[in-house]
Amino acid sequence: MTGRHALAALVAISWREIVKFTHQKGRLFSAIVRPTLWLIVFAAGFQNVFGVSIIPPYESYITYQEYVLPGLMGIVLLFNGMQSSLSMVYDREMGVMRLLLTAPLPRWYTLLCKLAAGTLLSVVQAYAFLVTAWLFGVTIPWSGWITILPALVLSGLMLGAIGLALSVHIRQLENFAGTMNFVIFPMFFVSSALYPLWKLEESGAVAVWRAAQVNPFTHAVELVRFAAYGQLNGMALAVVAGSTALFFLLAVVGYDPQRGMIARTRQAAA
């Protein structure tokens, strides 16, 4: 594989994902409307519960809506990561994935291109939601619009890698709804996206607090939250980077016809 071939494959796969995205206008609409409703309705209702407070890393007074904004950007990345896994299942059923995986490129690189393309769409949708929130008067510091970009990219890669790993085991499109309920919502609610973790511990929900501590989505949210205010959360960075590598490796192994889940499925069918 030469550098020119690698670039051509990346551009082709990314362009295919972009074209598919432009033909699914409701996808961007839902990606913006869903977290906006949370921001306006849910966060406004809880504003009186949490009020304004000093919450690290801000070291200043912020509203509850400003606190949950990075978490809701995380949910945009999470849903799009799962949408990517749905796309993988659909491509496998239609035979498109077979053509991609038989291309004269390393299998891991083909999957990496799919992951990069999905992450690109995730970041675009996250910024679209950030603009929408700004229109409603909820935003982050202007410098945070730039410093948040690497955190969004890395978090998008991690959540996309989780989607890739899940797509190995999802055999039919009909099973995707169950996967969403089993993966997305527990990851979202058992995290710091909607409330500080110390609130869970303070309220006595120790089991939920511990589960949130090991939830990779929690660290993705914290990485974005700190980056929005120009700070780096080293622990969150390490967990997100490590989780990205782990789940991507699982996806590569799973899509290997000699070692992965696909091989075992073919053997069982035979």
Q: pLDDT (tens digit, 9 = 90+) per residue, 224-255? A: 999 998 889 999 999 999 999 999 999 888 87
Answer yes or no: is pLDDT of 175 > 70.
no
- The SS3 assignment for 191 reads coil
- The SS3 assignment for 99 reads helix
Answer yes or no: is pLDDT of 146 > 80.
yes
CB half-sphere exposure, 14, CA atoms < 13 A? 15
pLDDT at residue 246 in the model: 95
**CA 204 to CA 207: how far, in whole Å?**
9
pLDDT at residue 14 in the model: 73
Give residue-wise pLDDT tens across range 85-110.
Answer: 777 766 666 656 666 666 667 778 88
Higher pLDDT pick, 62 / 265: 62
pLDDT at residue 54 in the model: 42
Task: Please name which of 100, 83, 92, 93 lies closest in space to residue 16, comparing C-alpha atoms.
Answer: 100
Higher pLDDT pick, 137 / 26: 137
pLDDT at residue 53 in the model: 47
Q: What is the dihedral of CA 138, 144, 150, 153, to 10 degrees?
A: 10
Answer yes or no: is pLDDT of 49 > 60.
no
Task: Name the band, by pLDDT with cuts 50, 70 and 90, for residue 158.
Answer: very high
Higher pLDDT pick, 217 / 27: 217
User: Which residue stretches of the chain are H helix?
Assistant: 3-22, 25-37, 43-50, 64-94, 96-101, 107-135, 144-169, 176-179, 185-189, 197-202, 206-214, 216-228, 234-254, 261-269
Higher pLDDT pick, 130 / 255: 130
Neighbours of 163 (CB within 10 A): 28
User: The tokens 């699914």 sit on which residue?
Assistant: 24
Higher pLDDT pick, 160 / 4: 160
Q: What contacts 6, CB < 8 A, 6 or more positions away?
A: 105, 109
